[in-house]
Chain A
Amino acid sequence: DTTVKQNPRYKLARVGKPVNLICSQTMNHDTMYWYQKKPNQAPKLLLFYYDKILNREADTFEKFQSSRPNNSFCSLYIGSAGLEYSAMYLCASSSGTISNERLFFGHGTKLSVL
């Protein structure tokens, strides 16, 4: 099974409210990633976990949090949603620690902030 699952598929949130997105994989992959994708833009890496170590990108450091309670699950948490957070959020996993390994993506969660 090479599936990465994301929940929910669609998420509606109010400005200022928290948002929690969930991702799971059953491939026993070491690394799990969260990307943000807006229309006509490239997917942008927000953060990734290698095993239990969280790495966050410098420009999104304070905007997103994440947890990985076990190898299979990873969450993305937004403490206070703003209109600029409206986007598709893609979770991915890979078996290696280097970026030469292919990524397996979920179908994404479309977040709309109103």
Chain B
Amino acid sequence: QEKVQQSPESLIVPEGAMSSLNCTFSNSASQSIWWYQQHPGKGPEALISIFSNGNKKEGRLTVYLNRASLHVSLHIRDSQPSDSAVYLCAVASSGSWQLIFGSGTQLTVMP
């Protein structure tokens, strides 16, 4: 079964800095990779997804996918205190009907 590992477990950055989160997965044939954001007391909310090798940019978010190295990263430009949350990486496993989640990175943006 697909395995998803996230690093670091926690990340503290000052307001305005770039936040960089990492995720590795075990199956290069995985269909798509998602990033979800979860604030305290709320359910995860989908932020951005990527299907093809390369990068994808949406607003302050950029995702890089390298299937050869089984690695995906999420970068948040100009981080804001409201970005403080748990970020979950999720991989759609090829031939399966489910998303496999990592255990998350706790991001704290200090004002």
A-B contact pairs, 11 of them (CB 8 A): A41-B103, A43-B101, A50-B97, A55-B97, A90-B44, A98-B97, A99-B32, A99-B96, A102-B34, A103-B46, A107-B43
Residue numbers in A under 8 Å from B93 (CB-CB): 99
Are A43 and B44 in touch, CB under 8 angstroms?
yes
Set A41, A42, A44, A100: member contacting B31, Cβ < 8 A: A100
Are A102 and B46 in touch, CB under 8 angstroms?
yes
Question: How many positions in chain B have a CB within 8 Å of any CB in the partner chain?
Answer: 26
Residue numbers in A under 8 Å from B42 (CB-CB): 107
Q: Given the complex of chains A and B, what is the CA–CA distance between A48 and B101 in angstroms?
A: 15
**A48-102 with Cβ < 8 A to chain B:** 48, 50, 55, 90, 92, 97-100, 102
Q: Assuming the A-B contacts A41-B103, A42-B102, A92-B43, are A99 and B97 also in contact, with contact meaning beta carbons closer than 8 angstroms in the complex?
A: yes
Question: How many positions in chain A have a CB within 8 Å of any CB in the partner chain?
Answer: 26
Residue numbers in A under 8 Å from B34 (CB-CB): 102
Are A102 and B103 in touch, CB under 8 angstroms?
no
Residue numbers in B under 8 Å from A104 (CB-CB): 46
